[in-house]
Amino acid sequence: MTFWDMEFTAEAMPDLLSGLWVTVQATVMGYLIALTLGLLIAVVRRVRVLGALVHGVMEFIRTTPLVAQLVFVFLLAPSTVTAMTVGVVVLGVHYSAYTAEVYRSGIEGVAKGQWEAARALSLPASRTWGAIVLPQAIRKVIPALGNYLIAMFKDTPLLFAIGVAELLTQAQRIGSVSFRLVEAYTLVGFLFLAVSIPSAILIRRLERRYAAV
């Protein structure tokens, strides 16, 4: 048996690329949920009573393992809900607990005078948030938000716990059948790098272009 079999590599690549596509889909959809829900949570947390309740829930999510959350929600979900749907939602909610903190730091970084000026001009809350606070806050936290995109991408292999056929799951299946684990897992590493490195470069470019100096 040779160390590296190019014929096996060619045969395995279609299934691995299929798993990579599932991984990318789960990451993108989960990230969109995390960005949207995280922003909503950051805004709601400024309401005293409701904010304290939301903070408690977010602390619980951050301090429990993602894989345990995936399995727990999957077991409770109706049979009509697919594993992929559960995985995307749980990924999004889990990471919203982190993006909410990122947004919160950006919001708190907006100068107090900006808030006071908005009140002096009697601007409605929607105008204050949409035109003054959020544009400044989001620019400051672009790098941190981008880092969570890469972190989520690296966490998607945990979806194997609920049966989602993502990249690592495909590699395990192929390796267990062919007994060529070296090629299977090495290809997984290269495919992850093929996505994460361009993503990191794009995030750095966005940081230089939009992040506040």
Q: For each of the chain's 213 residues, which pLDDT tens digit applies? A: 556 667 777 777 888 888 899 999 999 999 999 999 999 998 888 777 787 888 888 889 999 999 999 999 999 999 899 999 999 999 999 999 999 999 888 888 777 777 777 777 777 777 777 777 777 778 888 888 888 999 999 899 899 888 887 888 888 888 777 677 778 888 888 888 888 888 888 888 877 776 544
- CA 106/CA 205 separation, integer angstroms: 19
Give the pLDDT score at 116. Answer: 72
Give the pLDDT score at 29. Answer: 96
- CA 38/CA 131 separation, integer angstroms: 19
Alpha helical stretches, state H, 109-166: 112-120, 125-127, 134-155
SS3 65: coil
Residue type, 79: S
Q: Are 86 and 73 in contact (CB under 8 A)?
A: yes
CATH class of 10-210: mainly alpha
Count Cβ atoms below 10 Å from residue 124 Cβ, excluding itself: 9
- CA 171/CA 117 separation, integer angstroms: 57
Count Cβ atoms below 10 Å from residue 207 Cβ, excluding itself: 16
Q: Which residues of 46-85 are buried (b: 16+ CB within 10 A; e: fewer)?
A: eeeeeeeebbeebeebeeeebbebbbebbeebeeeeebbe
Please identify which residue in the block is written with the tokens 């048996």. 1
Give the pLDDT score at 3. Answer: 62
Give the pLDDT score at 82. Answer: 92
Give the pLDDT score at 211. Answer: 54
- CA 201/CA 164 separation, integer angstroms: 28
Residue type, 189: G
Alpha carbon distance, N-terminus to C-terminus of the chain:
56
Give the pLDDT score at 100. Answer: 92
Give the pLDDT score at 5. Answer: 66
Domain ranges of the chain: 10-210
Residue type, 78: P
